Structure 1
Amino acid sequence: MEKQPEFEFDRYFNDYFNVILNRNAEDNRTQYIQTIDLAQSELENLSIEYVIAKAINKFEVEEMTENSVVRSDAKLFLLINYRTMVYFPLRNSSKFTERGLKRKIFSEVQQILREANQYSTEITAHKVLQAGSEIWNSLGTLSGDSW
C-alpha cells in the first residue's frame, strides 16, 4: 500500500510523477519495472523525465523497505537537477550517446538513492544532496572527464 502524501505539494507532485510513469495510483508498481529495458535501442526515444522517474520507481519497488519512503521533494530534486544540470548539457556531448547517457543517469539516480537510504528511512532532497556529495567521484556524468 502506498503512503498517503502529507502535504498538498506531495499530492500534486505524486500526480505529476504518476503521469510521467503513465500509470494510475491504484496500479501495481512492479508491473512498470518490466516495461523499460535499458538495453533496447528505443531508449533514446524515451523522455529523460521518464527515465529518471523509472529509476526512482524501480528503486522504490526493489530496494526499499516498507517503512522507507522517497519523499516528493527528493523525487523533484532528482528530476529537475538531472534533467537541467546533467542531461541537457551532456546530450550533445561526444562523450555519450543518447542511450548511453540515459542509461548512466538511470544508474546514477539509483546509486544516489541507495546512498541516501543509508542515512535515513525517509529520503529527502537534503539526503539526496548529501548522498550525491558523498559519492560525487563515482558518478560518471558528474566527473570532470565527462565535461
Structure 2
Amino acid sequence: MIDQLALSQAFTLLFTDLSPWLWVIPGLLIGLIFGSIPGLQISMAMAVFLPVTFGMDFLQAMLFLTAIFTGGAYGGGVTAILMNIPGSSSSIATAFDGYPMARKGQHNEALGLGLCASVVGAFVGYSLLMLLINPLA
C-alpha cells in the first residue's frame, strides 16, 4: 500500500539535515499571528510570504508554507476561545465550546484542548494523505 522505498527516502530527506527545520518555527509564528487576527487569513499569509520561498530549497519552502498553514489553523482558535471572535473560518466551532469555558475561568484548558485537537487532526490528516495518495500501488 505504501511504497517502502519512497517512504525511507522521504525520511532520509527530512531527517539528515537540520537546516530545513529551522524554517518551521518562523512559519508557525507567522501562521499563528495571521490566524489569530480577524480579517487576516491563512491564505493571505501564504500569499504574502510566498516570495520568501523563491530563494529556498524545495524542502525548506514546503516546510515553511506548511508551518504557516498549520499555525494559522490553530491561531484562529485563540481569538475564538478568548474573545468569541473566530480568527478563521475553520475555528467557528471552537467558539461554541471554547468561549464558555473561558468565561468560567478555564481558558488554559480550552486553549490546551484546542492545541491538542489541532495536533491530532493534523496528524490524522497527514497520515490519511500518506495512505490514500496512491491506493493502487
Q: Which has the larger radius of gyration?
A: 2
Q: Same fold (TM over 0.5)?
A: no
With the length of structure 1 as denominator, give the TM-score of the two structures. 0.31
TM-score (normalizing by structure 2)? 0.33
